[in-house]
């Protein structure tokens, strides 16, 4: 069985479990792994998903809402990520909460968190989907 401890020790940035098995994993950074998973798995998200993500900001949290996981685990979550998961009633566990993910290096939001401000999950997806077609 996969665990938070195993994830923290791994090299993966994102691991998604469906029906007790790893169905997706990535070492890519940012929201790219979630976008890849959503594109690959669109409309097929009834698998009682559990997500392990290295860092969760508001953009990642909103994308997670689209795939409706039963639980999310992360070592670090931003206030915006926390607010989004709570707003959409997604159960999560985070070791540490920070104001912004870039808070480690500065007091500024990353571009994804800025992009996700005042957007619903569907609105963010439309913006990201439109940009990927350019």
Say yes or no to pLDDT of 43 above 90: no
DSSP string, 67-127: H--SEEEEEEEEHHHHHHHHHTT--EEEEEEESSGGGGT-SS--HHHHHHTT--HHHHHHH
Quickly tell me which residue has 């994102």 as its tokens: 14
Which pLDDT does position 103 carry in this prediction? 54
Q: What is the pTM of this model?
A: 0.85
Say yes or no to pLDDT of 25 above 60: yes
% pLDDT > 70, the chain: 84
In the chain, the domains with their CATH numbers are 4-132 (3.40.140.30)
pLDDT band at 101 (very low <50, low <70, confident <90, very high): confident
What is the rounded CA–CA span in Å between residue 18 and residue 20? 5
DSSP code of residue 3: -
Tens of pLDDT along 59-96?
A: 999 999 999 999 999 999 999 999 999 999 999 999 99
């Amino acid at each position: 069985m996969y665990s938070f401890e195993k994830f923290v020790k791994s090299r993966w940035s994102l691991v998604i479990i469906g029906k007790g098995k790893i169905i997706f994993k990535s070492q890519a950074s940012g929201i790219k792994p979630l976008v890849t998973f959503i594109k690959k798995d669109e409309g097929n998200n009834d698998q009682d998903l559990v997500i392990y993500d290295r860092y969760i900001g508001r953009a990642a949290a909103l994308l997670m809402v689209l795939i409706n996981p039963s639980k999310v685990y992360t070592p670090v979550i931003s206030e915006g990520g926390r607010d989004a998961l709570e707003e959409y009633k997604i159960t999560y566990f985070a070791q540490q909460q920070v104001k912004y993910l870039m808070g480690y290096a500065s007091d500024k939001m990353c571009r994804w968190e800025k992009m996700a401000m005042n957007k619903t999950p569907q609105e963010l997806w439309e913006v990201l989907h439109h940009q990927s077609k350019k």
